[in-house]
Amino acid sequence: MEKTLNLLMGRQVSSPQLQALGVALDSTELKQWPAVIIKKGRLFCQRCGFQAPRTNYALPDKSYYCPACLAWGRLTTTMSLYSIPEANDFKKYSQDLLEKKPRLSLWQKKAAKELLQTVKRKQERLLWAVTGAGKTEMLFEALNFALLNQQRVCLATPRVDVCNELYPRLCQVFPKVKSSLLYQNSGQEYTYTQLVVCTVHQLLRFYHAFDLLVIDEVDAFPYVNDHQLHYTVANAKKINSSTLYLTATPDRYLKQQIHQEKLAVTCLPLRYHRHLLPEITLVKLYFPKQKIEARIKRYLAKWIKNKTPFLVFVPQIALLKPILEELQHFWPAIKGECVSALDPDRLQKVKNLRTGSDCYLVTTTILERGITIARLNVMVLQADAPVFSETVLVQIAGRVGRDKDYPTGDVILAYQEMTSALRAAKKQIKLLNKKATQLLKNDEVSTL
Amino acid sequence: MMKCLLCNATLAFDFSWRWFFSFQAFETVPICEKCHQKFIAIAEKTSCPGCGRKQTQRKLCQDCLRWRNLQKELLYNKVFYVYAEPNMRAYFEAYKFQGDYRLRQIFAKALQAYCKKYLRRGWSIVVIPVDEQTLATRGFDQVVGFLPDIPKKMYLYHLKKFGRCPQSHKSRQERLATPQPFGYQGPADLERKNILLVDDIYTTGSTLYHARELLLAHNCGCVRSVTLAR
């Protein structure tokens, strides 16, 4: 019994789920509140934050249901949600949990200190660090502090791949702390742990649970512009808690928040190898019908001559094949492939590019994040298409020059009409590089 | 702005002059054309006349021959879509088991049009009921949901003791061996009235044949049936 009550700590469950756990509905420890409420004729789901006029969601028995979180079990106006308040029933650690402190550069150390301060003061902060700056390492100090103080900690991200990458690293760094990895169909049953790594959607099951909530890749789909997920995040953390947002490419909303000084920010414009981000080269095309013009062909020819791998981004899946055919028509001896989200052997193809058995990949925006290949060059065709937003373009540019030995490379964006996203992406990289040069200058002065 | 109930894509409105001068109310569609095409429709020409199963030609299938060998008159079931296919299964999963009541709108139009045809000829529409326990947890009857504007007769009800194990959890043999699951609560004499039975899925046919037996015992006329999927 004690165990099942532990499972409910900081969670929110509906009555059928509670019955499945074998807990009586009138248990004294349980906090209870209505699952779906009607406010001025509008339906409001207290679990996922869905809001809409109620008329479309009526059931014949005159109750209303939330259509947005059906997959987690249907909630109606007649049902309640139950929870047990988070008691932070964790082991007390006497010594430092960080066994091996990561080696940080001077600027990383400064950023890590700011994050630690934020956690101590229970505030919110955005860590804006360029692609390849070592964001996770900077977090460890803050996580260590929270865990030592018996706080419950969650790392959430919109992408499953990122979860799977983060979890083993955290286990390695904090071997003594009980941790769990949650995502849909993970096959793991929920256990009560101090450290939780999960997808943002899993936060739907939590209620006022976390003292420290870290959200990685805040600008990634589906977290951006999703009010429900924002509600979910706000609902999952305690009222008096700290939140850290991590990103390489803040979107317009986040930038606005920074500008209005609603969100504190730590900016780290330098990569860990202390080189600037590669600048974007814009190439305007004049003949819309011709797919690969001479103006961009010469870049491709250069890359092929130098035997460096490259990615060609296109806006639609339908364009993958024709572009690949054309490239093969120009250079029949050079091997290449095309990749999309629908491709089952996508990982294998990326591996081929890394080992050098393929020279290039034609791809959609799925390879925008999380791919690191040495000496990579990048070209974006039809960069004025709406899928290439500012954050996507900056992420794509961030694929280049991640290696310590080859910190430079080309980022070619081919377009026909200038868009605000193109302009903003170029501007963002310029701004970050400007800040980075300033940092480097100060650094030299201080070391002198 | 209307969204497709299944894929959430924005639905385009086709306002035409023809519609404008037709002086009819504008008909909104619940799902997009793409999602609609994913369901496999069954044409009359290529289905079994007895149960509506999709085949290559129009002749009685093995199951219907077996029913006929049992000295039963066939139901001549009308079916709209194939059930044993991922999209339709996903639909019923979302509609019946997750309980998204909005999804009834997707097929309501087709089913109602079919029922109206029979109503005009003076037939009665009888719905296969859901047992009380399911009704309480689900909050709606999935077949009644398909027919909001049709006058339905609730002649049948579920006998309680069979309400424990739903049909969808049984094997084929178990289903065929199930005793009469329904009770009758209509008028004692149906006066040779013709009846159209409506259900959501036809699997073995035993549910519908049980219902027909009960109705025949109360002196009804001809019994036919219609289901959304087979």
Q: What is the pLDDT of residues B147-201, one digit of tens each?
A: 999 998 888 888 865 545 666 777 777 777 778 888 888 888 888 899 999 999 9
Can you give the pLDDT at residue A43? 93
User: How far apart are alpha carbons B23 and B39 in whole angstroms?
Assistant: 32
User: How far apart are alpha carbons B154 and B182 in whole angstroms?
Assistant: 12
pTM here is 0.80
Residues of chain B contacting A76 with CB distance shorter than 8 Å: 139
Helix H segments across chain B? 17-22, 33-38, 62-69, 86-92, 105-120, 132-138, 142-146, 172-177, 206-217
| Identity of the residue in B98, B140, B145 whose CB atom sits nearest the CB atom of A71 | B98
Does A225 share its domain with A307? no
> What was the ipTM of the complex prediction?
0.84
Last residue of a domain, one of A222, A242, A268: A268
Does A237 share its domain with A177? yes
Q: Which residues form the domain of A251?
A: 106-268
Residues of chain B contacting A70 with CB distance shorter than 8 Å: 94, 98-100
Can you give the pLDDT at residue A137? 84
Reduced to 3 states (helix: H, G, I; strand: E, B; else coil), residue B224 is strand
How many contacts, defined by CB atoms under 8 Å, are there between A and B?
32
Q: Which chain A residue's Cα is nearest to B144?
A: A60
Can you give the pLDDT at residue B93? 93
Chain B interface includes A62 (CB < 8 A): no
Burial (CB < 10 A; 0-12, 13-18, 19+), residue A442, is exposed
How many alpha carbons fall within 13 Å on the CB side of residue A114?
18
Contact B100 A70 (CB under 8 A): yes
Does A156 share its domain with A247? yes
Looking up tokens 């996903």 gives B90
Average pLDDT over residues B212-229: 91
Can you give the pLDDT at residue A420? 92
In a domain, residue A91? The reply is: no
The Cα of B64 is separated from the nearest Cα of chain A by a number of Å equal to 36
| Identity of the residue in A56, A58, A74 whose CB atom sits nearest the CB atom of B98 | A74
Chain B interface includes A59 (CB < 8 A): yes
In a domain, residue A66? The reply is: yes
Give the tokens for residue A129.
């660090």
Can you give the pLDDT at residue A379? 93
Structure confidence by residue, pLDDT tens digits, B187-201 = 888 888 999 999 999
Q: What is the pLDDT along chain A (448 residues), one digit of tens a residue?
A: 567 788 888 999 998 888 888 887 777 788 899 999 999 989 999 999 999 998 889 999 889 999 988 988 899 999 999 999 988 888 888 777 777 777 888 888 889 999 999 999 999 999 988 877 778 888 999 999 999 999 999 999 888 778 887 888 889 889 889 999 998 877 778 889 999 999 999 999 999 999 999 998 888 777 777 788 889 999 999 999 999 999 888 877 888 888 998 889 998 888 888 888 898 999 998 877 667 888 888 999 999 998 899 999 999 888 899 899 999 998 988 888 888 877 878 778 888 888 888 889 999 888 887 677 888 999 999 999 888 988 889 989 988 988 888 888 899 999 999 999 999 999 999 999 998 898 888 876 665 5
Q: Considering chain B, what is the average pLDDT of its residues?
A: 87
Residues of chain B contacting A228 with CB distance shorter than 8 Å: none
Chain B interface includes A56 (CB < 8 A): yes
Contact B140 A57 (CB under 8 A): no
Residues A220, A223, A225: CA angle, nearest 5 degrees: 105
Chain B interface includes A318 (CB < 8 A): no
Residues of chain B contacting A63 with CB distance shorter than 8 Å: 139
Instruction: Name the amino acid, one letter, at A277.
Output: L
In a domain, residue A210? The reply is: yes
Q: Which chain B residue's Cα is nearest to A71?
A: B98
In a domain, residue A249? The reply is: yes
| Identity of the residue in A56, A58, A74 whose CB atom sits nearest the CB atom of B99 | A74
Contact A76 B139 (CB under 8 A): yes
Last residue of a domain, one of A247, A268, A289: A268
User: How far apart are alpha carbons B189 and A129 in whole angstroms?
Assistant: 81
Nearest to B112 by CA among B152, B85, B83: B152
- The DSSP result for B171-192, as a single string, is -HHHHHH----EEE-S-S--TT
Give the tokens for residue B229.
């999927």
φ/ψ region of B194 (left if φ > 0, alpha if ψ in -120 to 50, else beta) reads: beta
The number of distinct structural domains making up chain A is 3
Among A59, A64, A75, A78, which would you mutate to test the B interface (most chain B Cβ atoms within 10 Å of its Cβ)? A59
Does A25 share its domain with A119? no
Does A215 share its domain with A246? yes
Q: Which chain A residue's Cα is nearest to B142?
A: A60
Does A306 share its domain with A399? yes
Residues of chain B contacting A69 with CB distance shorter than 8 Å: none
The Cα of A68 is separated from the nearest Cα of chain B by a number of Å equal to 10
Are A11 and A83 in contact by the 8 Å Cβ rule? The answer is: yes
Can you give the pLDDT at residue B167? 67
Can you give the pLDDT at residue B145? 92
Does A261 share its domain with A302? no
In a domain, residue A273? The reply is: no
Residues of chain B contacting A59 with CB distance shorter than 8 Å: 101, 139-140
Reduced to 3 states (helix: H, G, I; strand: E, B; else coil), residue B33 is helix
Q: Which chain A residue's Cα is nearest to B148?
A: A60
Give the tokens for residue A176.
């003594």
In a domain, residue A101? The reply is: no
Average pLDDT over residues B100-106: 92
Does A367 share its domain with A287? yes
Residues of chain A contacting B143 with CB distance shorter than 8 Å: none
Chain B interface includes A61 (CB < 8 A): yes
Chain B interface includes A405 (CB < 8 A): no
Last residue of a domain, one of A48, A83, A118: A83
The residues, any chain, with a CB within 8 Å of residue A265's CB and separated by 6 or more, are A125, A126, A127, A128, A258
Can you give the pLDDT at residue B178? 75
In a domain, residue A446? The reply is: no
Does A205 share its domain with A143? yes
Does A134 share its domain with A222? yes
| Identity of the residue in A16, A56, A59 whose CB atom sits nearest the CB atom of B139 | A59
Contact A65 B99 (CB under 8 A): yes
Burial (CB < 10 A; 0-12, 13-18, 19+), residue A355, is exposed
Does A43 share its domain with A70? yes
DSSP character at residue B23:
T
The CATH number for A159's domain is 3.40.50.300
Among B98, B142, B147, which would you mutate to test the A interface (most chain A Cβ atoms within 10 Å of its Cβ)? B98
| Identity of the residue in B98, B139, B145 whose CB atom sits nearest the CB atom of A70 | B98
In a domain, residue A10? The reply is: yes
| Identity of the residue in B94, B98, B140 whose CB atom sits nearest the CB atom of A59 | B140
Does A260 share its domain with A293? no
Structure confidence by residue, pLDDT tens digits, B32-52 = 888 999 999 999 888 999 889
First to last CA, chain B: 34
Can you give the pLDDT at residue A96? 79
DSSP character at residue B1:
-
Residues of chain B contacting A65 with CB distance shorter than 8 Å: 99-101, 139
Indicate if the pLDDT at residue B227 is higher than 80: yes
Structure confidence by residue, pLDDT tens digits, A386-436 = 889 888 899 899 889 888 888 888 999 999 999 999 999 999 999 999 988
